[in-house]
Amino acid sequence: MLRVGIDIGSTTVKVVVMQDEELLFRHYERHFSQVRQKTAEILREAAGIIGKEPFAVALSGSAGFGLAKAAGLEFVQEVYATGKAVTYFSDGVDIVIELGGEDAKILFLTGGVEERMNGTCAGGTGAFIDQMASLLDVTPEQLDQLASRHEKIYPIASRCGVFAKSDIQPLLNQGARKEDIAASIFQAVVDQTITGLAQGRAIKGKVAFLGGPLHFFKELQKRFSETLRLSPENALFPDLGQFSVALGTAIYAAESGNRLTLSELLNKIESAKSDTSGSRHLKPLFENEAKYEKFKARHAKATVPHKDIASYSGPAYLGIDCGSTTTKVVLITDKGEILYQYYGSNRGNPVQIIRDELIKIRTLCGDRVEILGSAATGYGEELIQNAFSVDAGLVETMAHFRAARFFNPQVDFILDIGGQDIKCFQVKNNSIDSIMLNEACSSGCGSFIETFARSMGYEIADFAKAGLFAKNPVDLGSRCTVFMNSSVKQAQKDGAGVDDISAGLSMSVVKNAIYKVIRAHSADELGKHIVVQGGTFYNDAVLRSFEREIGGEVIRPTIAGLMGAYGAALYAKSLRLEKSTLFTLDELQHFTHTARSVNCGLCNNHCALTVNTFANGRKFISGNKCERPLGMKNKEVLPNMVQWKLERIRALTPKEGPRGKIGIPLALNMYENLPFWFAFFTELGFEVVVSPITTLDIYAKGRYTIPSDTVCYPAKLVHGHIEYLLDQKVPVIFDPCLAYNFDEHKGDNHYNCPVVAYYPELLKSNVARLHETRFLYPYFGLHREKDFVKKAAEYFGQEFSGITKAEVKKAAAAAYAAYAKWKSETAAEGRRILDWADQNHRQAVVLAGRPYHVDPEINHGIDKLLNSLGLAVITEDAVSDLVEPQKVDVLNQWTYHARLYNAAKYVTTRKNLELVQLVSFGCGIDAITTDEVRAILEKGGKFYTQLKIDEINNLGAVRIRLRSLIGAIEERDAADGKEQN
């Protein structure tokens, strides 16, 4: 009897027909969500081979599940099917790695059978590669070709698509080679598979790689083989790898599938009722055309006058907004009328596009129109400024604010949804009062809708239009892109059409902005005069959704997408220059641009730099986190407590001792407790071996043993430190479990967070190599000195023969003294910097987070970036004792978090001090602290700035945020100055 296996994944349908072991028919095709039709179509193609006799059939795949249920057909889970298929390909396979459209799987077949799938927060799969290809404006095939010509690999956060995008986009804007980015994308997929799926189990032996992406992308294969160091005979890439699930399903069908004829099967598939109860629906955006026309007419009124450049003569001002995905150029008259405008995708190479536009503009201008000033803004601001000798640059938030204010002087709330960013500002007293930007994990923006539109085979404009009159918009919730993919998948399975999905996506972008970014509760909170802008608001479905969600009307300028460029042009005008330095037509025509990537070797951060060289030999370096590679040696050195702390940790020198070596991982709370334990063990006669300050290499060493991919990055780093100590062959590694922290009497209790408190327990169970040494992770309460001495004497007396209570007592005394000294020195250093700022009339920033946020691999050099922006840096623990303990509206029960509230309060008491809060992605406790810190700061008239940090290495967005903060401070101070005068 014939066996038919049907595998319907998230993006493709695979069908195979087998006669015993022989493969008679196979077909692989994208289904564009037309699951039933596509499947039936393929089966009909196979009709000649299948014939009229009954055969065995089963379904598999994430989209096959719903269909099997609806049609009453046998279903087999795809990983299980893969297991069945392996023997078909080869004998002696130890491990199978299978990547699908949106799932990744690993099967360990020998040495303890185990099967795993990626968790919900993981996107390094086929859909991710497609998304990245569209970001680079190439087809997936071209991506593969590009990657084959790579020279270097950039670190790209591999956890999920959104994170990776945050790393890739700035690389693109800085001019990095597409070839290198393409290869880096594949490497990210490899890293994600290894960290997310292997979770501590070694990938060795004979490995079979299955699934579409691993079949089609040769470079991905190469990256896997290289990374896992597999010899050719151990890396199996079967020709039919993309059919593995379908094959396994056919094999399974022979055992327990349905017995049907082709016409019976087709009948079942085609008459299967889609079960729509799974999806929730929303009200249509517009009930009828008339309502839409009225809506359109209202918004058409918000316009800017245009002037014909061919007939105009006089001064003009140029604004360029080089955004993350789009490039915008505007030329205005001295009255603000628009002479020329351009809006388009930057296609991964904004420099070339802007050059073309400038040539066009210069030609149009001729001798009649004189460009008296030019300004650049957006992600590529500096690159463009350097490339074309643009007069000035300004941070994009300020550009948007200028444009909106010109438009409506009374504006009190601006929401800008661009390709990659959501920005909102509240305006009070003519200056920006608070700025909110989206974080990596709430990135539902314009490019998100666009990517979806393309993946369903639509242009964005048509896709948006389809949504306007959708009858049953699907409620897709408001989670991150990865989750959204699954929700859309589900909706499609439930029979939702493109129109319903388009409308649903618009609403989820809006909900994301309101509830995640703005965190507003009602429309009244936003303001009375709301201006919405950014390219995404050209989409009427999004605009309508927004008005509906807030229950009011807003202004969308007809130049919504050009507001950044328009604001930049206004800024250029305000400079009142006599002459612009902008390239002339001749200079533009002789313009060349090459980009080269190098690694900076000046410090431990090893930034991946991109060196852009232009025709006139001018260079522009990007990707740097500090000023050093730029060669500005004479720049003054500003106080930086983060560096000061690192120096102090480095200065702890181990003393050889009679009791031998003991290793301590420099991670999590050790950044603060190290002096304690260092003194303790040194006094006890141990030589304390501390792992070095984290580097990317250290992280890479340990990431294979991380069991939970959603835990915070600081915790993930511990694994590498342990591996380092194991490599040093220290006989003992010490990392205590501390449920309680020191009691600083600042709150209701003094806990550590659950992850910090018990991470050693996790290490013991997941770092297999720990059996090579003695791993000590006792429970201690350092907050009760007397009890600590008692318990520690008991513990160490047992673990090490000859350690007496008297010795422990002495060691503990030394430890507590060392800790107290450390803390008082920290406070003194803080004092010194505050005084320095006062005496020199300079601004300082409290970089507030946890003690371990001084780790350069965790903060990615934000402290140095602050310095380079002219701000001194103080850490939160240095100022948290300068005010009375704060009463807050939450349970204040963690020692380190209590410091944040106090630091925030202290900041409000000083004019030249601001606060920037570092929040590690995944820190559940900061979901509680951030609102409180914000409330304290805002009550005291300060801005609140939160920087979410993770594995993402690129500081592009952080730089914009910090510059916006500085811009806002300047405006606020200027406004204060006026009031006083």
Judged by CB under 8 A, the chain residues 741 through 760 that form the site for other proteins are 749, 751-755, 757-759
Q: Do residues 245 and 61 lie in contact, with contact meaning Cβ atoms separated by under 8 Å?
A: yes
Backbone angles phi, psi at 887, to 5 degrees: -90, 125
For the CB of residue 922, give the shortest distance to other proteins in the complex, in Å.
6
Give Cα separations from 863 to 394, 638, 824, 873 (angstroms). Answer: 22, 11, 22, 7
CB of 437 to other proteins, least distance (A): 15
One residue of 35, 67, 79, 847 binding other proteins per CB under 8 A: 79
Among 29, 41, 94, 115, binds other proteins (CB under 8 A): 115
Q: How many residues bind other proteins (CB under 8 A)?
A: 81
The answer to whether 121 contacts other proteins (rule: CB under 8 A) is: yes
**Could you say which of 515, 577, 652, 910 contacts other proteins (CB under 8 A)?**
515
Task: Give the binding range for other proteins (CB under 8 A) out of 508-516, 857-865, 952-960, 965-973.
Answer: 508-516
Beta carbon nearer to other proteins, 54 or 477: 477
**Cβ-based nearer residue to other proteins, 151 or 794:** 794
Give the containing element (helix H, strand E) for 757.
Answer: helix 754-766
Tokens standing for residue 754 = 């659950």
455 sits near other proteins (criterion: CB under 8 A): no
Is 952 near other proteins (CB under 8 A)? no
* Least gap, CB of 80 to other proteins (angstroms): 4
By CB under 8 A, tell whether 762 contacts other proteins: yes
> Please, which residues have CB within 8 angstroms of residue 409's CB and are 6 or more apart in sequence?
none
Q: Closest separation between CB of residue 762 and other proteins, Å? A: 4
With respect to other proteins, which residue has the nearer C-beta, 693 or 776?
A: 776
Nearest 5°: CA angle at 427, between 425 and 530?
70
Closest approach, Cβ 632 to other proteins, in A, equals: 39
Q: Which of 594, 710, 804, 909 binds other proteins (CB under 8 A)?
A: 710
Q: Which stretch binds other proteins (CB under 8 A): 47-55, 109-117, 855-863, 938-946?
A: 109-117
Residue 112 touching other proteins (CB under 8 A): yes
Q: Which of 500, 744, 926, 951 binds other proteins (CB under 8 A)?
A: 926
The residue among 469 and 758 lying less far from other proteins, judged by its C-beta, is 758
Return the residue of 114, 255, 727, 799 that touches other proteins, per CB under 8 A.
114
Nearer to other proteins, 160 or 392 (CB): 160
Q: Are 638 and 744 in contact (CB under 8 A)?
A: no
* Beta pairing class for 369-377 and 235-236: unpaired
Nearer to other proteins, 747 or 830 (CB): 747
- Which is closer to other proteins, CB of 98 or CB of 219? 98
Among 259, 924, 939, 970, binds other proteins (CB under 8 A): 924
**The pair of three-digit structure tokens given for residue 46, joined into one six-digit string:** 């196979």
Residue 727 to residue 904: CA distance in whole angstroms: 42
The reply to whether 795 sits near other proteins by the rule CB under 8 A is no
Indicate whether 774 belongs to the interface with other proteins (CB under 8 A). no
d(CA 499, CA 465): 8
Q: Which 3 state secondary structure label does DSSP give 630?
A: helix
Q: Name which of 474, 154, 146, 455 is nearest 283 in CA terms.
A: 474
Q: Is 490 in the site for other proteins (CB under 8 A)?
A: yes
- Please, what is the minimum distance in Å from the beta carbon of residue 935 to other proteins? 10
662 contributes a contact to other proteins by CB under 8 A: no
Q: Dihedral through CA 787, CA 792, CA 794, CA 795, nearest 10? A: 140
To other proteins, the closest distance from the beta carbon of 780 in angstroms equals: 8
DSSP string, 915-946: EEEEEETT-TTHHHHHHHHHHHHHHTT---EE
Alpha carbons 793 and 79: distance in angstroms, whole number: 52
Q: Which of these segments, 326-334, 555-563, 710-718, 810-818, binds other proteins (CB under 8 A)?
A: 710-718
**Shortest distance, position 933 Cβ to other proteins, whole Å:** 12
Return the range that interacts with other proteins (CB under 8 A); candidates 108-116, 351-359, 808-816, 841-849: 108-116
Torsion angle of alpha carbons 679, 682, 686, 687, nearest 10°?
Answer: 100
> Which range binds other proteins by CB under 8 A, 348-356, 421-429, 644-652, 922-930?
922-930
* C-alpha span between 437 and 960 (Å, rounded): 10
* Shortest Cβ 292–other proteins spacing (Å): 26
Alpha-helix residue ranges (DSSP H) falling in 408-539: 446-455, 460-468, 481-493, 498-511, 523-526
Query: Quick one: tokens of 419?
Result: 């390709």
Residue matched to tokens 């071209």: 142
- One of 7, 74, 103, 433 touching other proteins (CB under 8 A): 103
Among 463, 483, 537, 677, binds other proteins (CB under 8 A): 483
Among 30, 280, 548, 809, binds other proteins (CB under 8 A): 280
Cα–Cα dist 784/788, whole Å: 6
CA distance 472 to 486: 19
- Strand ranges of the sheet holding 12-19, from the earlier edge strand across to the other edge: 22-30, 12-19, 2-8, 55-60, 258-260
Stretch that binds other proteins, among 470-478, 540-548, 605-613, 674-682 (CB under 8 A): 470-478
Instruction: Restricting to residues 139-198, name those near other proteins by CB under 8 A.
Output: none
891 interacts with other proteins by CB under 8 A: yes
Q: In the window 521-560, what residues touch other proteins (CB under 8 A)? A: 521
The three state secondary structure string of 192-225 is HHHHHHHCCCCCCCCEEEECHHHHHCHHHHHHHH
In the complex with other proteins, which residue's Cβ is closer, 200 or 205?
Answer: 200
Q: Considering the complex, what minimum distance in angstroms separates the CB of residue 216 from other proteins?
A: 23
Options 235-243, 336-344, 350-358, 890-898: segment touching other proteins (CB under 8 A): 890-898
CB atoms within 10 A of CB 424: 25
> Which residues have a Cβ under 8 Å from the Cβ of 877 and sit 6 or more positions away?
672, 823, 826, 851, 899, 903
Q: Which of residues 38-77 bind other proteins (CB under 8 A)?
A: 62, 65-66, 76-77
CA angle 919/922/926 to nearest 5° reads: 45
Q: Which residues, including other chains, have CB under 8 Å from residue 331's CB and lie 6 or more apart?
A: 309, 316, 317, 318, 319, 338, 339, 340, 341, 361, 365, 371, 569
Question: Binding residue for other proteins (CB under 8 A) from 205, 315, 497, 781?
Answer: 781
Instruction: Say whether residue 199 binds other proteins (CB under 8 A).
Output: yes
Residue 890 interacts with other proteins (CB under 8 A)? yes
Residues 6+ apart with CB under 8 A from 924: none
Site string for other proteins, 714-733 (x = CB under 8 A): -x------------------
Task: Decide if 280 contacts 487 (C-beta within 8 A).
Answer: no
**H or E stretch at 762:** helix 754-766
DSSP 77-99: -HHHHHHHHHHHH-SS--EEEEE
Among 142, 643, 766, 912, which residue sits at the site for other proteins (rule: CB under 8 A)? 766
Question: H or E segment at 690?
Answer: strand 687-690
Q: Is position 511 an interface residue for other proteins (rule: CB under 8 A)? A: yes
Is position 274 an interface residue for other proteins (rule: CB under 8 A)?
Answer: no
Nearer Cβ to other proteins (290/927): 927
786 touching other proteins, by CB under 8 A? yes
Q: Between residues 339 and 474, which has the closer beta carbon with respect to other proteins?
A: 474
Please tell me whether residue 452 binds other proteins under the rule CB under 8 A: no
Nearest partner of 78 among 63, 90, 93, judged by Cα = 63
Q: Among residues 108 and 407, whose Cβ is nearest to other proteins? A: 108
